[in-house]
């Protein structure tokens, strides 16, 4: 067990690292952030920040020796340099988990190898005929880069000959995954925490609504049957156990029109769809991640109230001919007693960039969603 008062190292300096640092500090830990770019959201609230490349072995080694445990807040970190620091300090989740989850091709193959329900897919190497592979999978489908994709980046839906040509041009000489397009009732996610002691806790299933491939609303409790809820939780537990996870794992799911569940993606860290836990759960996902990687007893995951989380993107800022004209109407959210505003401290709003989120609690999930939509419209 790594007791409060020790130092946790975090690879990555974004908003997830920022909220993790807040949770760690409340438990009495110091946080040392390792992030290539200075002045990021996490570095602003951490005790120490190192700004060096992830491939700088000397800097990584010094970082590892200055902390008692290391975790990460996003997947786009080269796994190879982490092999060295694992010999110096505990790394949670393990680099093998990162390697699986940071590459769509490896992730899909891992799911298939271990008999977890997944979206049908085909692999395309950089030298393969992408158009021919798309036609073999069939239309409609989704073409995704194997590496470095999130929030809709690195993917395109293909539904006709014109979009085949677009995909071929966009993904020329890249390794890709082609997924069969799935008609689904809704998108779900489940967060699983697993401690170094083997203790596990599953957060309540969230129902997610995406707009332009970016999460827009997360609704808890999800408006699904008890049977689907149970299946999602059991699936999350099974995946976490198979990965030998230590830390937090988010599993994104499709609920198909026939009532089945398919795994879409895995993320070995706190997740955007878990931000509701900050205001409507006994233990937030960030505190739970601290507890898991440090070997502390895991916290209670009971829901305090039905809740909806809404992402705030750079689109909410007012623009005039490409120039920033005005900030969003924060007063609209701050005046609502059952709403909570969370901003990430990012200096520059951009279209599609996550700048913050807010949550709204209510007596029912539907009432929370109605209130959340109304507040978003007033931003």
Along the 379 residues of the chain, how does pLDDT read in single tens digits? 999 999 999 999 999 999 999 999 999 999 999 999 998 999 999 999 999 999 999 999 999 999 999 999 999 898 888 988 999 999 999 999 999 999 999 999 999 999 999 999 999 998 888 999 999 999 999 999 887 656 556 888 999 989 899 999 988 888 999 999 988 999 999 999 999 889 999 999 999 999 988 999 999 999 999 999 999 999 999 999 999 999 999 999 999 998 999 999 999 999 999 999 999 999 999 999 999 999 999 999 999 999 999 999 999 998 777 767 688 999 999 999 999 999 999 988 998 999 999 999 999 999 999 999 999 999 9
364 domain residue, yes or no:
yes
CATH of residue 129's domain is 3.30.1490.20
Q: Say what the pTM is.
A: 0.94
Q: Provide the domain limits for residue 270.
A: 184-378
Q: Same domain for 266 and 339?
A: yes
Q: Same domain for 125 and 228?
A: no
Q: Same domain for 229 and 201?
A: yes
Inter-residue contact 262 to 119 (CB < 8 Å): yes
Which of 180, 209, 228 represents a domain boundary (last residue)?
180
Contacts of 247 (CB under 8 A, 6+ apart): 71, 92, 93, 97, 193, 194, 268, 269, 289, 292, 293
Q: Same domain for 211 and 350?
A: yes
212 domain residue, yes or no:
yes
Q: Same domain for 249 and 336?
A: yes
Q: Same domain for 168 and 289?
A: no
Q: Same domain for 129 and 75?
A: no
Q: Same domain for 203 and 158?
A: no
Q: Same domain for 176 and 192?
A: no
Pairing of β 318-320 and β 247-256: unpaired
Which of 180, 204, 222 represents a domain boundary (last residue)?
180
């Amino acid at each position: 067990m790594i007791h409060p008062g020790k130092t946790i190292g975090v690879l990555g300096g974004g908003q997830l690292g920022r909220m993790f640092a807040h949770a760690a500090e409340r438990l009495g830990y110091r946080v040392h952030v390792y992030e290539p770019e200075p002045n990021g959201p996490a570095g602003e609230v951490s005790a120490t920040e190192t700004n060096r490349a992830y491939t700088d072995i000397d800097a990584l080694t010094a970082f590892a020796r200055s902390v008692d445990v290391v975790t990460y807040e996003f997947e786009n970190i080269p796994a190879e340099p982490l092999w060295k620091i694992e010999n110096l300090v505990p790394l949670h989740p393990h680099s093998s988990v990162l390697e699986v989850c940071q590459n769509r091709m490896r992730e899909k193959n891992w799911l298939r190898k271990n008999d977890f329900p997944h979206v049908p897919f085909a692999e395309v190497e950089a030298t393969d005929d992408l158009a021919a592979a798309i036609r073999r999978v069939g239309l409609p489908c989704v073409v995704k880069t194997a590496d470095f994709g999130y929030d809709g980046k690195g993917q395109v839906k293909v539904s006709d000959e014109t979009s085949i040509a677009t995909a071929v041009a966009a993904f020329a000489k890249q390794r890709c995954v082609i997924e069969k397009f799935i008609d689904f009732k809704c998108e779900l996610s489940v967060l699983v925490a697993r401690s170094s002691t083997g203790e596990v806790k599953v957060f309540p299933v969230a129902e997610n609504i995406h707009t332009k491939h970016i999460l827009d609303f997360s609704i808890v409790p999800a408006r699904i049957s008890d049977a689907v809820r149970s299946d999602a939780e059991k699936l999350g537990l099974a995946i976490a156990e198979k990965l030998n996870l230590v830390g937090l794992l988010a599993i994104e799911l499709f609920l198909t029109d026939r009532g089945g569940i398919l795994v879409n993606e895995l993320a070995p860290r706190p997740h955007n769809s878990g931000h509701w836990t900050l205001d409507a759960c006994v233990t937030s996902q960030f505190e739970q991640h601290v507890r898991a990687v440090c070997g502390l007893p895991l916290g209670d995951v009971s829901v305090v109230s039905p809740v909806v989380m809404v992402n705030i993107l750079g689109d909410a800022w007012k623009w005039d001919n490409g120039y920033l004209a005005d900030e969003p109407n924060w007063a609209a959210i701050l005046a609502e007693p059952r709403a909570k505003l969370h901003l990430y401290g990012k200096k520059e709003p951009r279209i599609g960039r996550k700048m913050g989120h807010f949550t709204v609690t209510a007596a029912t999930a539907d009432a929370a969603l109605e209130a959340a939509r109304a507040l978003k419209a007033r931003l």
